[in-house]
Structure 1
């Protein structure tokens, strides 16, 4: 079922004789900052993010001060302002900012109120995310009209904000898909699973361009000078390093389960379930805590404090760190989304940066890497061609190996059989079993990079091992019989068990479309 949504007309221009108010729309700073903008001075601000909370709108603003210095602040407003809008602001008090009336009108006009059909011809499919929804003043006898701001995710207008009117309120934060009917009319269409996967892939590509290898961060933390850091930062660093499991710890089922639970993959699900949002050994929670303690100490950003950093991180991490300290995606080429394992990626250590700035960059990049694994899990979860539901958990566990810290990348996949057919034969029912797959990737000295792929079906295990060093491949080949005996001792039937030189073949097909082991062989 489809429904029409309309673009509202452009707001009328203010009369030429109208006198501007002495102070425009007030923005309330979530954390008061005294002396951000000098008395009698103004600054430029850009709206980076917009979020509605009932009738209040939360904004993330990037402010350009005198001399070109930039800072980022969070504020609330009674009016929505379009993403990317450029504003002229002053600071009447430590807890508020003022927008000139002309600037406020320009901010509202920054949201599109018509579609250029030369750029987006009739029939073009648009995707967007609902940012705000407001009930407009009603005329007696007329139906209700809800005005929403929608951030476009595709097409030539990607990143723009669109104002639309609809007869029903649009749920904030949801994705919608609409087809262009004319310059002022869109036709809503249901969002398919394919389009949801497209949105995930777009987010994954952005996140992967920011990520950096975990081992780079932990090497920097191990080499951090004992002096020169606050006691809180030093305690967080020690706690983070102490929470990393030993290699031997992962050899037991209990130790492995604990390491998986503390990998950061399940932090958001704990939040949704109302559990402790940051358990003591959760990797992502500890990284977030470390960044919140590092940010106030930046000499180039004296206006930041711990409360502001924690609030901004909750809304925009890692965009906040990227905006404050420079672009993270300029060091190396962007990797293709959806690949496993994630490639090593190091951030450039600029000579003019101090230890604190570079450490903050590494921590933000490490969180982006964990988020890349989470998005990859979503991207690879769905229905296979034969009707099975495939669920994927992809994560990374930094583990201790003597003095080294070695990241272990893990991907676990489960295929659930399709619903039972009452008419199926017993042999067909027997074939409908869960299929488990696991991929491992790590670089353990002196063996070099290794990858393991295994599949478990009806108690039978098949596995392929890949080593990039010839000596390692030969060594593993010599011990395959011992590995087979150990697996038998665990109660498993062992099928194929081979070792290869190189890396697993990489093809254009995704894991949702093919199986790398034929379980019927």
Structure 2
């Protein structure tokens, strides 16, 4: 995963509330121009012939606007142009690009000269109705080519009837900006379960007898963030709320608000600390923050009553090989149950293998959290007068007797709907997936609107479905005693359908 700024002050400047787009935009590892990237260019100059100069990452780039629509575009010097780069039309030709957004120039910035034959934009505020019409109808594509650093531009232009009106450029959505930056993360991401399995083995001393104290301290801090599920300590609403808050998807938002999350209070911060601690050892840096055990520990120390074992290169490779990558956190679709896994490290693992395995699994877990953050970004609203539903997707590690399972959660909030039974109350929807023995894989959705609640379960095993149906009357009674006006339970065998019901319905039982 490409480096993300760790300076809280820098992150605070990048993050606004829980909007993660700007942060994810920093995941581009290099500043070069390449197809598939989205870059921001600052307009420096623009002449009558459509020749423009812009700054991309501090480098001057020559833009040649092609097409009458692009040359008619009213741009102000100092404006930020959000360019999504694409492959050239033919070998050796400049790259192509699409103008996906325009950031207004700072106040008092000079305006670019109007192309010949076009009157300068009026300084009077445009009529709102004219502006809306221009935005809706004046978006024909226009291309441009770049000379010095190859790139091309597709601009939103104006029609002849509205030439004197400055078109209101639609800014790039956070998802549009962040999407092209996540390709590498999609290939590297993996569940948290393999990492927690190995961390649990380290904490129990079944992998190595002697490990550096800073590493073991961090291991304990990460394992302490699991949600306890013991019968003596039932999961409460407050415990689940705290687990979601420290799951890592809100790390940068918390930093922007002035907090200083630590490895004890945020899972992503803890994984970043683990990665940084292991990185010098993995890269073979002479100034590693923690020393590897002595050379003698390259062979596992014998445990009482157990002969010493020597690891082979094949065993080391198998131990460090990542598990099969799981699907990326879905935006729309089914969640993936993630059962507890067996540790891939054993008592014969060499120190270098331990470091490499944990480092790779920490990187994969951080990539998965970044993808969950991307999945939590708002989609474009279907209507300008109605905001899109709020959605958060996260994953919670669960402490089980046989290890650590992962609980994917998708929390959704639809705005109030005028046609519903409670038009003033928003519709909350929580989806989850779980795979624990002896129940097996289980998925569910809980819906809440006002004081009406509905719960649906899907179990892969018929025996589990039967147990849930038998418990349904007691569960409904328990919810009614909690002062809900109505409570409904349904249990199905199999998997929920992928199709998503329209927002605003009270009980979304099939999604």
TM over 0.5: yes
1:438 Cα deviation (Å)? 1.0
Does the CA contact (< 8 Å) of 2:188 and 2:325 recur in 1?
Answer: no
Q: 1:467 aligns with which of 437, 442, 459?
A: 459
1:144 Cα deviation (Å)? 9.9
Q: Counterpart of 2:155?
A: 187
Deviations 1:15-45 (A, max 9, x none): xxxxxxxxxxxxxxxxxxxxxxxxxxxxxxx
Superposition pairs of residues 440-519 of structure 1, within 5 angstroms: 440-507=432-499, 517=507
Does the CA contact (< 8 Å) of 2:263 and 2:273 recur in 1?
Answer: no
C-alpha separation in 1, matches of 2:4 and 2:192: 31
RMSD: 5.0
Mapped pair 1:259 → 2:243: yes
Mapped pair 1:284 → 2:284: no
Does the CA contact (< 8 Å) of 1:388 and 1:417 recur in 2?
Answer: no
Larger relative contact order (C-alpha < 8 A, sep ≥ 6)? 2
Does the CA contact (< 8 Å) of 1:448 and 1:469 recur in 2?
Answer: yes
Q: Counterpart of 2:84?
A: 153
Does the CA contact (< 8 Å) of 1:263 and 1:395 recur in 2?
Answer: yes
Does the CA contact (< 8 Å) of 1:151 and 1:161 recur in 2?
Answer: no
Deviations 1:197-217 (A, max 9, x none): 434444566533321011111
Superposition pairs of residues 286-365 of structure 1, within 5 angstroms: 286-298=270-282, 300-302=283-285, 332=325, 335=328, 337-338=330-331, 339-342=333-336, 354-365=353-364
Q: Counterpart of 2:401?
A: 402
C-alpha separation in 2, matches of 1:50 and 1:396: 21
TM-score (norm 2): 0.58
C-alpha separation in 2, matches of 1:286 and 1:492: 38
C-alpha separation in 2, matches of 1:488 and 1:108: 59
Q: Give the 3 Å change call, closer, same or farther, for CA 217–416 of structure 1 in structure 2.
A: same
C-alpha separation in 2, matches of 1:160 and 1:183: 7
**In structure 2, the residue corresponding to 1:446 is in which secondary structure?**
coil
TM-score (norm 1): 0.57
Does the CA contact (< 8 Å) of 1:50 and 1:83 recur in 2?
Answer: no
Mapped pair 1:218 → 2:218: no
Q: Counterpart of 2:32?
A: 82
Deviations 1:427-486 (A, max 9, x none): 989523211111111111111111111111221111210111111111111111111111
Q: Give the 3 Å change call, closer, same or farther, for CA 358–515 of structure 1 in structure 2.
A: farther
C-alpha separation in 1, matches of 2:430 and 2:260: 29
C-alpha separation in 2, matches of 1:397 and 1:341: 13
**In structure 2, the residue corresponding to 1:251 is in which secondary structure?**
coil
Q: How many residues align?
A: 367
1:50 Cα deviation (Å)? 12
Q: 2:225 aligns with which of 243, 251, 255?
A: 243
- Note the residue ranges of structure 2 that are not aligned, 5 or more in a row: 8-29, 36-55, 108-138, 147-152, 157-166, 291-320
Deviations 1:343-365 (A, max 9, x none): 65999989998221121111111
1:262 Cα deviation (Å)? 1.5
Deviations 1:285-332 (A, max 9, x none): 11111111111112x44267559xxxxxxxxxxxxxxxxxxxx99955
C-alpha separation in 2, matches of 1:147 and 1:305: 45
**In structure 1, the residue corresponding to 2:188 is in which secondary structure?**
coil
Q: Give the 3 Å change call, closer, same or farther, for CA 215–334 of structure 1 in structure 2.
A: closer
Mapped pair 1:374 → 2:373: yes
C-alpha separation in 2, matches of 1:297 and 1:306: 8
C-alpha separation in 2, matches of 1:245 and 1:167: 46
Does the CA contact (< 8 Å) of 1:145 and 1:166 recur in 2?
Answer: no
1:263 Cα deviation (Å)? 1.3
**In structure 1, the residue corresponding to 2:447 is in which secondary structure?**
strand
Richer in strand (by share) = 1
C-alpha separation in 1, matches of 2:79 and 2:145: 17
**In structure 2, the residue corresponding to 1:354 is in which secondary structure?**
helix
Does the CA contact (< 8 Å) of 2:336 and 2:433 recur in 1?
Answer: no
Deviations 1:49-93 (A, max 9, x none): 999x9xxxxxxxxxxxxxxxxxxxxxxxxxx963579xxxxxxxx
Mapped pair 1:207 → 2:189: no
Superposition pairs of residues 19-58 of structure 1, within 5 angstroms: none
